[in-house]
A and B are shown apart, each in its own frame.
Chain A
C-alpha cells in the first residue's frame, strides 16, 4: 500500500497533536466496527464524525489513518481521504487501485498480510467512516480523533493515548514506550 500525499481538496486533512485529549469532547459510538481488534480502540468525537459524514456525502470518501516512521520526533501521521469504492467494507481490504496489481507481485515479501486488513469504524449510521491499519492502531490506541476549526484552518486532529511531545509543526510525535 503506498501512502501518498494528503488530499488537499478544500479541507486541510493534516493532523496536529496535543498530548492530552480535550475531556469535554463528546465521543461517538460507532454504529459498526469491521475487523475490531481486541483491546485496541480509536475513539471518534462528534465533530469528527459529522465532518466525516459530510465528506462522505459530498465526495464519497473515507478517512484512512496511518502512521509512518520519520518526522522530527520519530513518527508522523498520514491522513488520507480515499474513495469509498477502493475499500471493501466487508473485509477491510483495499481493492483494485492502479498500482495495487503491479505492486503486489514484486513486493509481496514485504507486505504483511495482517496489516492489509484495516479496521473500519462506521459512524453516524454508517455515513462517516474511518479506516486504520493494525500497526497504526497499536500506536494510536486510546487516542481520540477530532475535528477542529481554527483561524489557520480546519483539520482533523489526533490526541491522547500514549502520544507525547510533538514537533513544532505538529505533524510528528513520539510515543511513550508501552509496557
Chain B
C-alpha cells in the first residue's frame, strides 16, 4: 500500500463530486451510491479487508450533563464551540470562540444551536471544510500533564455509535480508550480526582464486556483518477453535519450500510482521517477503522456487509503487529507502547498536522500553557519522523541488551553526511581553552545525538529528530536534495552476534515535510 501523492485532480473533482450537498438533504441517502455509476472497470478491482483483534485496550465511560465541559478541560481537542477565558485582563479581538482558517472556496456554515448538556449528541469537530461539524465517530486526542508533556493519547468515542431516537437520550456519553495494563488504572484515578463537583459519572468498563478491533478496507485496483470512495461517501457528507440529529441519522445510515444486520453489535466506531489533512487520499488508499464491539463478536470481518461495494471481497486476517508497523510507517502512534508518558510534547508528535487533535484556541486545559506558547512562537525543536531499519535483527538485539543493563532511555540516533563523518555535519563547536591547562590526552569531541528512537516494529521505526537537521536530510523547498544518513551507534552495547557496530536508518519523507520546509526554510 502506498500513500501516493496524486496531483492535479482538481478538474476531475468537479465532475465526480455530487452537486452541493444542501443541509436539508438526508445525508444517509448518499451512501446508496454505488461505484457502478463511475467510469471504472470493476472486473479488476477487489475490496481488500484486513483486520486484527486489539486486546490491549481498556475503556472508561464518562456520562453526564457536564461531561463535555469536564473532558474539554482535560484533553487537547476542542470539544465545545465556546469557552470562558480565565483572568482576561486585555480584550482580544476574538472573545468567545475563535476558529481555524476557513477554506476560501466555501462559505462557513455554523452549527445549529443546541444544548451541550442534554442528549447524547456526539462530538464537536472544528476542522471541517465548511466550518465545524458534529459527528458520532471517535476522535483521536491526547492527555497532557501540567508541564505540557504527553501522558497518553486516546480515542474519545461517543457511545453507543447508533441511537434509534436521539431525543430520548438524556446526557452526553463517551468512551475513553487507554492501554489496559499501563494506563487504565492511572487515568481512572486522574479522572476521578478531577471530578470534584462536576456532574459526571466516571466508571471503568468491565474488561470482557467489549472487544476492540482494527480493520482496514482498501479498493485495490481502483484507478487513481477517481476520488477515494471513502472521501466521497463518508468524509464529505460527514463534514456537513451541523446538528446532532443530522449526525445521528447519518451515522445510523452508515453503520447500517457497512454492518448490515449487525448494527447492534457495534458499540463505537473510529475512522482514521489523520493523514487526510496532509495529502489527498488516492482511490486505492485503505481507510483504517477501529471498532468497539460487544463480546459476542469473534471475527469482526463477518460483520462487514460485502454488498456495500460492487467488487469482490477479499478478507485477510492480520495481527496487531502488522497494523502497528503500518501505523509507524505513517508516523502515527497508538498508546504508551509507542511512547513513554511525560517524555514528549504533543506538537513534537506532529499532532498539529492532524485534524482536531490539538487546538490552539480552546480555552484552558491541562498542559495548555506550553502548547499554546509553542503555537504562538512557532519554535519547535524536534519532530517525529518515520525511518526504515536496515538490520531489524541487530536493532532487536541492541534493545534487548539495553534492557538487560537497565538502560531504559530511548536509543540515540546520530547523523553524518553521506561519505563523511558525524563531526562534519554538526556545527563546529570551538573548544574553549581549559582553565586547568591542556590535558595530555586528546579529548574526543562529544557527538550530540540528533534524535531518539521512540518505537519500532520489524523494519519500521519512529525517531524524534531535531528539526535543525531536516534540511540536511530532506533537502529544502528550493529543490536541493538531502545528503545525510542516520544511524545508531551500537559499538558499546552489543552487536557481537551480528558483528555490526552500527544500525543504519533510512529516513522516510513525512507527508507534512513539504509544508514544514515551506514555512521553515532551513539552511544547509
The answer to whether A binds B is: yes
Once the chains are docked, how many angstroms separate the CA of A84 from the CA of B277? 54
User: Which segment, of A29-37, A42-50, A53-61, A161-169, faces chain B?
Assistant: A161-169
List the A side residues contacting B201 at CB < 8 Å. 109-110
User: A68 to B198, Cβ gap below 8 A?
Assistant: yes
Once the chains are docked, how many angstroms separate the CA of A74 from the CA of B72? 12
Q: Of all chain B residues, which has the CB nearest A68? A: B196
User: Which segment, of B34-42, B254-262, B362-370, faces chain A?
Assistant: B362-370
List the B side residues contacting A136 at CB < 8 Å. 196-197
List the B side residues contacting A167 at CB < 8 Å. 364, 368-369
State whether the Cβ of B174 lies closer than 8 Å to any Cβ in chain A. Answer: no
State whether the Cβ of B86 lies closer than 8 Å to any Cβ in chain A. Answer: yes
Once the chains are docked, how many angstroms separate the CA of A128 from the CA of B86? 26
User: A75 to B364, Cβ gap below 8 A?
Assistant: no
Once the chains are docked, how many angstroms separate the CA of A171 from the CA of B84? 12
Q: Of all chain A residues, which has the CB nearest B369? A: A72
Task: Determine how close the nearest CB of chain A comes to the CB of B244; give it in whole angstroms.
Answer: 18
Residue picked from A115, A165, A167, A171, most chain B C-beta under 10 Å: A167
Once the chains are docked, how many angstroms separate the CA of A70 from the CA of B364? 7
Known contacts A169-B87, A172-B364, A69 near B198 by CB under 8 Å: yes
State whether the Cβ of B344 lies closer than 8 Å to any Cβ in chain A. Answer: no
List the A side residues contacting B66 at CB < 8 Å. 110
User: A14 to B87, Cβ gap below 8 A?
Assistant: yes
State whether the Cβ of A152 lies closer than 8 Å to any Cβ in chain B. Answer: yes
List the A side residues contacting B355 at CB < 8 Å. none
Known contacts A1-B197, A115-B197, A72 near B364 by CB under 8 Å: yes
Once the chains are docked, how many angstroms separate the CA of A126 from the CA of B364? 36
Q: Of all chain A residues, which has the CB nearest B148? A: A72
State whether the Cβ of B341 lies closer than 8 Å to any Cβ in chain A. Answer: no
User: B146 to A152, Cβ gap below 8 A?
Assistant: no
User: B146 to A69, Cβ gap below 8 A?
Assistant: no
Once the chains are docked, how many angstroms separate the CA of A66 from the CA of B70? 15
Binary per-residue interface labels of chain B (188-225) against chain A in the complex, 1 for a CB within 8 Å, 0 otherwise:
00000011111111000000000000000000000000
User: B366 to A73, Cβ gap below 8 A?
Assistant: yes
User: B196 to A69, Cβ gap below 8 A?
Assistant: yes
Known contacts A110-B200, A172-B364, A69 near B195 by CB under 8 Å: yes
Once the chains are docked, how many angstroms separate the CA of A135 from the CA of B87? 23
Task: Determine how close the nearest CB of chain B comes to the CB of A93; give it in whole angstroms.
Answer: 14
User: A110 to B194, Cβ gap below 8 A?
Assistant: no
State whether the Cβ of B65 lies closer than 8 Å to any Cβ in chain A. Answer: yes
User: A135 to B89, Cβ gap below 8 A?
Assistant: no
State whether the Cβ of B64 lies closer than 8 Å to any Cβ in chain A. Answer: yes
Binary per-residue interface labels of chain A (150-179) against chain B in the complex, 1 for a CB within 8 Å, 0 otherwise:
001000000000000101111110100000
List the B side residues contacting A165 at CB < 8 Å. 146
Known contacts A72-B146, A72-B364, A74-B146, A171 near B196 by CB under 8 Å: no
Task: Determine how close the nearest CB of chain A comes to the CB of B521; give it in whole angstroms.
Answer: 31
Task: Determine how close the nearest CB of chain B comes to the CB of A138; give it in whole angstroms.
Answer: 9
Residue picked from A5, A14, A73, A168, most chain B C-beta under 10 Å: A73
User: A172 to B86, Cβ gap below 8 A?
Assistant: yes
Complex interface residues of chain B between 448 and 467 (CB less than 8 A to chain A):
none
Once the chains are docked, how many angstroms separate the CA of A71 from the CA of B73? 6
Q: Of all chain A residues, which has the CB nearest B73? A: A70
Q: Of all chain A residues, which has the CB nearest B66? A: A110
Q: Looking at the complex, which one of A5, A67, A112 makes contact with B84 (CB distance below 8 Å)?
A: A5
User: B194 to A71, Cβ gap below 8 A?
Assistant: no
User: B146 to A107, Cβ gap below 8 A?
Assistant: no
Q: Of all chain A residues, which has the CB nearest B371? A: A72
Task: Determine how close the nearest CB of chain B comes to the CB of A166; give it in whole angstroms.
Answer: 10
State whether the Cβ of B74 lies closer than 8 Å to any Cβ in chain A. Answer: yes
Once the chains are docked, how many angstroms separate the CA of A109 from the CA of B492? 61
State whether the Cβ of A111 lies closer than 8 Å to any Cβ in chain B. Answer: yes
List the A side residues contacting B194 at CB < 8 Å. 69-70, 74-75
Q: What would 28 A/B residue contacts be, using CB atoms closer than 8 Å?
A: A3-B197, A14-B86, A66-B197, A67-B196, A68-B198, A69-B73, A70-B73, A70-B74, A70-B194, A70-B364, A70-B366, A71-B73, A71-B364, A72-B365, A72-B366, A72-B369, A74-B146, A74-B366, A75-B196, A107-B65, A107-B199, A110-B65, A135-B197, A167-B364, A167-B369, A169-B87, A171-B86, A174-B146
Q: List the 7 shortest-distance A-B pairs measured between CB atoms, nearest first.
A: A70-B73, A69-B194, A110-B199, A169-B87, A171-B86, A72-B368, A71-B364
Apart from A69-B74, A172-B364: 11 A-B pairs, beta carbons within 8 A: A3-B197, A5-B84, A73-B146, A73-B366, A75-B194, A106-B65, A107-B65, A109-B201, A133-B197, A171-B87, A172-B86
